Structure 1
Amino acid sequence: MVEFAVETWAGRPWVGVTMRAELARWAEANAHVPRIYAALAADGTAPLGGPIYQYHRLQRAEDPMDITVSVPVAHERDLGAGFATGTLPAGRYLVARPEGGPDALADIHRQLWDWAAVQGLELAIDERGDGIHWAARTEQFLTDPQAEPDRSRWEVEVAYLLR
């Protein structure tokens, strides 16, 4: 059973790559992860954890979505062309940390939305004609796949900024 919690977070700086991605071609988004870590190493900047997938806009699951693949850092860093930098906003987040890796995520997102509605929590979203726009919706991988190859045992932090 996955537990849900409301947590107050400070801003979380990151370095990453912003793109349009499709679930059917997710390997293209994942390919940026080692590139970001390599750029951080070349810059002498230590990462503060596993990759974070930030979802900005989505219409339907089968449509391309606007995302940022990022890595948390202590301070925003300019790594040059091809990289973006920013800070996840401070605030109250609805959070779950399920095991099950990528295979569990679709179900966890549905459960989070349902739980938020039952609790009377309002997600920081804006529904427009071109889809749902999130102020902050993230998935951070907490388990190193090289240390734990069984993806059913991976832990992921799923978080939505609340209004």
Structure 2
Amino acid sequence: MTNEPRVAERPATPYVAVTRSVPMPGLPGVADEIPRVIGQADRPGLTVDGPPFFRYVVIDMEHELVVEAGVPLTSLVAAGTDLGDLEAGVLPAGRYATVVHTGHPDTLADATGRLLRWADDAGLRFDVRPGDRGDVWGCRLESYLTDPRVEPDMSRWETELAFRLADDPA
């Protein structure tokens, strides 16, 4: 089940993540990184502030995806902080097309398709441009709102899709 899509303003949000380039079948391996990222973010000076996410940076469905597995933080990472193999960044502020989907993660492709069609029908443009290795997204998130330790039934998991919209309306 997918709720009605909407446009929402999101603030700039600091985060830490691992970045991986993988073919589409390798995506589950990146998901396995999320518990490790959460564990590494649990250190002095860093405070996790929300659910873990995938950020799709570059999408080329026939070749490779560049994906970040990350967690939002309450504040920017101080210069000189040892993050191991994590990278610090800031998710951009702006208007996002967003929807919350309840269902097994395998059904996210359908929810994504519905969100893309809704935005197109509404005349909304995404913050995306063609790049040498695929479509480069300003910010395309899948945030996992359900904690699997609390809800083991994957068909009841909630996932928020949030795709940044282009700043210019044309």
TM-score by length of 1: 0.92
Cα offset for 1:101? 3.6
Alignment partner of 1:117: what SS? helix
Q: Does 1:63 align with 2:67?
A: no
CA deviation vs aligned residue, 1:28-50 (integer Å, no higher than 9, x gap): 21222121111122336331122
Larger proportion of helix: 1
Assess if the C-alpha contact under 8 Å between 2:48 and 2:73 holds in 1: yes
**Equivalent in the alignment of 2:159:** 156
Question: What is the CA–CA distance in structure 1 between the aligned matches of 2:27 and 2:83, rounded to whole Å?
Answer: 24
- The 5-angstrom pairing of residues 25-64 of structure 1 reads 25-43=26-44, 45-60=46-61, 62-64=62-64
User: What amino acid sits opposite 2:60 in the alignment?
Assistant: Q
**Ranges in structure 1 where 5+ consecutive residues have no aligned partner:** none
Cα offset for 1:3? 0.7
User: What amino acid sits opposite 2:39 in the alignment?
Assistant: A
**Ranges in structure 2 where 5+ consecutive residues have no aligned partner:** none
CA deviation vs aligned residue, 1:29-73 (integer Å, no higher than 9, x gap): 12221211111223363311221100011112x532001110011
User: What amino acid sits opposite 2:3 in the alignment?
Assistant: V
User: What amino acid sits opposite 1:27 in the alignment?
Assistant: P
In the TM superposition, structure 1's runs of 4+ consecutive aligned residues that sit over 6 Å from their partners are: none
TM-score by length of 2: 0.88
Alignment partner of 1:70: what SS? strand
Assess if the C-alpha contact under 8 Å between 2:46 and 2:75 holds in 1: no
**Equivalent in the alignment of 1:131:** 134
Question: What is the CA–CA distance in structure 2 between the aligned matches of 1:118 and 1:51, rounded to whole Å?
Answer: 30
- The 5-angstrom pairing of residues 2-151 of structure 1 reads 2-43=3-44, 45-60=46-61, 62-77=62-77, 78-151=81-154
Assess if the C-alpha contact under 8 Å between 1:39 and 1:79 holds in 2: no
Residues 114 and 58 (structure 1), Cα distance of their counterparts in 2 relative to 1, 3 Å cut: same
